[in-house]
Amino acid sequence: ACFLCADIAWRRNSLMSIEVLTRRLPPRLEKACRLVNYLIIMLFLIYVIGMGVWLSWISRERSFQGIPEVSYSWVTMSMPVGACLLLITAVLKVRAEFR
């Protein structure tokens, strides 16, 4: 739920932001700062996807809440799936910047 809510909020531009410094910059420099920020976010999300898949793989034999039929990997897959949704949103934001 946390990843889904973050993705919805970011798509609606409802996330908290501090624009004290960037609003005083020229428009081209402000856009460059936004693009660098998106790049950093995308690199982090790619890392989270990779590590989340690895975490899901190593926890595949652990049972969820003691239920033998349900693997804990189903829980840990929420991290890479949510990061993938956020990565799609980040790519859409970068694409919108160039339009």
Residue-wise pLDDT tens digits, 45-55 = 999 999 999 99
Does the pLDDT of residue 34 top 80, yes or no? Answer: yes
The first and second tokens of residue 25, run together, are: 């910059």
Could you tell me the pTM of the whole model? Answer: 0.82
User: How far is residue 75's CA from residue 19's CA, in Å, rounded to a whole number?
Assistant: 36
What is the three-class DSSP state of 69? strand
64: which residues sit within 8 A by CB, 6+ positions away? 70, 71, 72, 74, 75
Give the tens place of pLDDT for each residue, 52-81.
999 988 887 777 777 777 777 888 888 999
